[in-house]
Structure 1
Amino acid sequence: MLSKLKNLTDFQLSYNNRLSLLIYASTNATFPKFRLLGLNSCNLTHIPDFLQNQDELELLFLTNNKIHGPIPKWLWNMSKDTLEILALSQNLLTGFDLLPAVLPWSKMRILDLDSNMLQGSLPVPPPSTYIYLVSGNKLTGEIPPLICNLTSLRSLDLSDNNFSGGIPQCLTNLSSSLFVLNLRGNNLHGAIPQICTNTSSLRMIDLSENQLQGQIPRSLANCIMLEELVLGNNMTNDNFPSWLGSLPRLQVLILQSNLFHGAIGSPKTKFEFSKLHIIDLSHNHFTDVEFKAPRYSWEGAYTVSMTIMNKGLSREYEKTPDILTVIDLSSNKFYGEIPESIGDPKGIQALNLSNNALTGPIPTSLANLTLLEALDLSQNKLSREIPQQLVQLTFLAYFNVSHNHLTGPIPQGKQFATFPDTSFDGNPGLCGSPLSRACGNSEASPPAPSTPKQGSSSEFDWKIVLMGYGSGLVIGISTGYCLTAWKHEWFVKTFGRRQPKWRRKARRGHRG
């Protein structure tokens, strides 16, 4: 039937749920010359053979099918002079037949190979490419220097593969054009190169979950457009990079699970870190914090998917909630008392100070955090009674003060009636429900341990951690980014109408 529609150029069958496209190899039908062909989610098991004769395609969508095996060699010769967007993501593709050194499509703008099972070396797209997505595959070897010839590139996502070797220094050549650099989740090692130049356009850098060593390069101070820097889960050994506070647009700073150490100095001016919205300093060796809290409104341009520890569980967010304030400074070396000023910013929803060496009482001012849903103070050396005022926290769904030196009765009523006994383990001096120890017996409570002398320069100083108050501070997260807006922008620019849905689920990448 389609062979009779000689003037048909745009044919979109994507996302019709139960529709399957059946292509018979024996057919002699001649298909129209398509300009746009959308076959996302059509239960395809292979790349249709009739595409071999298509030489005018501009946009080809084959996402979210069951296409398996290697990409056939004839694909490289299809529509070499016209193809601008090729989407093969979310299939079962395993590799490449006769992969050329550089892919041949002279007008390529977007190449999406995400979420397959591709093995072998990284395909190098043509220099015209704007967006290149190859995350979630099994590609190996080093990142080829030829990738640095893509001087039009805006977004490069090679995350979640098995690339090894160092990060090519020549990526500096892309600094003036590249917006997004995502190399997360590989086996890259060595030092972080001097990526940024004085004309850098980089908005997001994600180098997390690799084996990178050494210090953060000071050239990052040249990335004046930088909004998101994610370096978590590496072996970076450095002091806190307070000099990053001069970046006027920095909103996300993730440094968790490295070898950072020492004190976190206070900003020299009130403008430093003035736009910081997401910060993760957990699982390092920091000993002191002295930041003051700038108060500003969050007007982020990104949709950030993330996984955070909230209410004791790992919880995935498809995008950053508009008002989410999570403070996680867990697993460092902070000690001293928690000051009463912790109760000043009213918007905190989750607070995690666990696994440090904090001493003294739990501040009664925590009762001022009326939106608090999760509070984790476990694995410290806190003493005295749990403040009865915390019963006022009617949104509190998770509470953990286990393994401290707390004494006296557990507050009763409201949310405290819902917490399990494990929330209070390891405090022999506590009594009352849900514990089996009744209050008022003759058993003496153990004495409160001594605390460091007030005024010690190494004590926990809360002048700080509330960067981003008013919109939300997120600490202790792993992030990903979404490219949907890029694709939408390109499609609308090309066809002047709404873009067809590329995904059922947000992908990792940048939202431009």
Structure 2
Amino acid sequence: MALSFNGLASSVPPEIGSMSLLQNLDLNGNQLEGELPATISSLKDLYSLDCSNNKFIGTIPSIGSKKLLSAAFANNSFLGSFPRTFCQIASLALLDLSSNQLSGELPNCGFPSILKKCKQLIVLDIGPIPQGLLANLTSMMKPQTEFNMTSLVHHQVLHLDATMNFVDRIDVNWKMKSYTFQGTIALMIGIDLSGNSFSGEIPTELANLRGLRFLNLSRNHLSGHIPENIGDLKLLESLDCSWNELSGAIPSSISKLASLSTLNLSNNNLSGEIPVGNQLQTLDDPSIYNNNSGLCGFPLVACSKGSSGTVETLDTELETVYFCYSIIAGLVIGFWLWLGSLVFFKTWRTYVFCCVDRFQHKVMKRWRAFR
């Protein structure tokens, strides 16, 4: 049942639960309000449910279908905690709860346990990023050969059919412009965790998701370095880590992303020289590196000789200091070893004193002869 963008108002009648054979329910983009009826739990054959962009309130009702592939509740006013109903839906491939008023703690089956059961999960649009969250998303670890779109940053799924193809329409922000595509679009793989309050470092296990086409971690509180193994995401076309607190140098492995066509690392604390090579040379918009005062190199101002050789110069200076210290330490240790041998070994002490006496006798003898 496709009722999206029809200007529907009022509330959803509870009688909808009597449509026992319903597989797809699309209520996106209307003016529907009130609570979603609890009778939705009676729809046992439901594959796709989209209630996004309405005025729904209250809590998200239980979902009775174990076949659910796609569930979207974005841009409403839903209250309460994370719905426990999703803990048991292993078939779930897309879950969008963004832009609501959910609160409280995650359920006992909570992150990442919820997602460990969802091994078919391919698109996740949802806090630090939970440890182990990404380890079991096996569908993201392999390329999807049917994928036929490029430069994907964000998406909005309206339908998902039983053959795992997105259908009807998809809204895409592609190279800073918005596009709407009609018809069947083959499966896309990506993670959008933007606009949350995630903190801590970006998990290195992210690089295990070799099938990723787009990754959006923008507008969070992520810190630390960009993972060195980011270059393992060979199929990545779009990477957005802007508006975080990332620091350190941009890893050189990012130049291995041969498919990268959209990049945004602005508004962080990154420093050092921007890597060069491959697709990075085509990304000539300086704004993608804005507000990183320590960055230099193409397409920003060239790095000065002093800044580019800072590390090498520092290493040379440290080597010189260590060399001087080692010489001084050797002299001090040698002196105390010699002095200690005179104190503790009588034979050595007697021999040294005899040598000194003989030397003194020769000097005095020659001095008297000279006079």
Same fold (TM > 0.5): yes
**Contact kept? 2:116, 2:136, Cα under 8 Å:** no
Counterpart CA distance in 2 for 1:177 and 1:351 is 36
Cα RMSD (Å): 2.8
**Counterpart in the other structure of 1:237:** 79
Report Cα offsets for 1:419-457 as digits up to 9, x if no partner: 2111111011111121125333579x9xxxxxxxxxxxx
- Structure 1 stretch displaced more, 390-399 or 260-269: 260-269
1:186 correspondence with 2:51 = no
AA in 2 matched with 1:396: L
Report how far residue 256 of structure 1 moved.
2.5
Q: Does structure 1 residue 225 correspond to structure 2 residue 67?
A: yes
CA gap of 1:330–1:173, structure 2 versus 1, over 3 A, is same
Aligned counterpart, 2:220? 356
**Structure 1 residue 433 corresponds to structure 2 residue 262:** no
Shift of 1:301: 4.5
Question: Structure 1 residues 200 and 339 mapped into 2: Cα distance closer, same or farther (>3 Å)?
Answer: closer
**Which has the larger strand fraction?**
1
2:92 to 237, 250, 255: 250
Q: Which residue of 1 aligns with 2:138?
A: 295
**For residues 31-50 of structure 1, what are the structure 2 equivalents within 5 Å?**
none
- Cα deviation code 1:62-104 (max 9, x no counterpart): xxxxxxxxxxxxxxxxxxxxxxxxxxxxxxxxxxxxxxxxxxx
Q: Which residue of 2 aligns with 1:49?
A: none
Matched with 2:13 is: 168
Which structure 2 residue ranges, 5 or more long, are not aligned? Answer: 145-161, 311-371
Partner residue of 2:208?
A: 344
Identity over aligned pairs, percent: 32
1:164 partner SS:
coil
Determine the structure 2 residue equivalent to 1:110. Answer: none
**Structure 2 CA distance, aligned partners of 1:320 and 1:267?**
31
- Please list the CA deviations of residues 299-348 of structure 1 after superposition, one character each: whole Å capped at 9, or x if unmatched: 83544231233444434444565452221111100010112221112111
Cα separation, partners in 2 of 1:267 and 1:397, compared to 1, 3 Å: closer
Distance 1:391-1:294 versus aligned 2 partners, 3 A rule: closer
Pair 435,303 (structure 1): closer, same or farther in 2 beyond 3 Å? closer
Partner of 1:417: 281
Q: CA deviation at 1:252?
A: 2.7
Relative to structure 1, is the Cα distance of residues 270 and 361 closer, same or farther in structure 2, using a 3 angstrom cutoff?
closer
The separation in 1 between residues aligned to 2:46 and 2:296, in whole angstroms, is: 55
**TM-score normalised by structure 2 residue count:** 0.68
The separation in 1 between residues aligned to 2:97 and 2:46, in whole angstroms, is 18
2:248 paired with 1:376: no
* Residue in 2 that maps onto 1:385: 249
Task: Specify which structure has the bigger relative contact order, considering alpha-carbon pairs within 8 angstroms and separated by 6 or more residues.
Answer: 1
Q: CA deviation at 1:276?
A: 2.7
Residue equivalent to 2:125: 280
2:192 maps to 328
- SS of the residue aligned with 1:426? coil
* Residues 225 and 350 of structure 1, relative CA distance in 2, 3 Å threshold: closer
Structure 1 Cα separation of the partners of residues 55 and 268 of structure 2: 35
Residue-by-residue CA offset, 1:209-260 (whole Å, 9 max, x unaligned)? 1011122112x1x222333222111111233335313124333322222223
Q: Whose Rg is larger? A: 2
In the TM superposition, residue 415 of structure 1 has moved relative to its aligned partner by 1.6
Higher relative helix content: 2
- Aligned in 2, Cα 1:320/1:354: closer, same or farther, shift over 3 Å? farther
Q: How many residues are paired up?
A: 282
Q: Please report how far the alpha carbon of residue 168 of structure 1 lies from its aligned counterpart in structure 2 after TM superposition.
A: 1.1
Q: Could you tell me which amino acid in structure 1 is paired with residue 286 of structure 2?
A: D
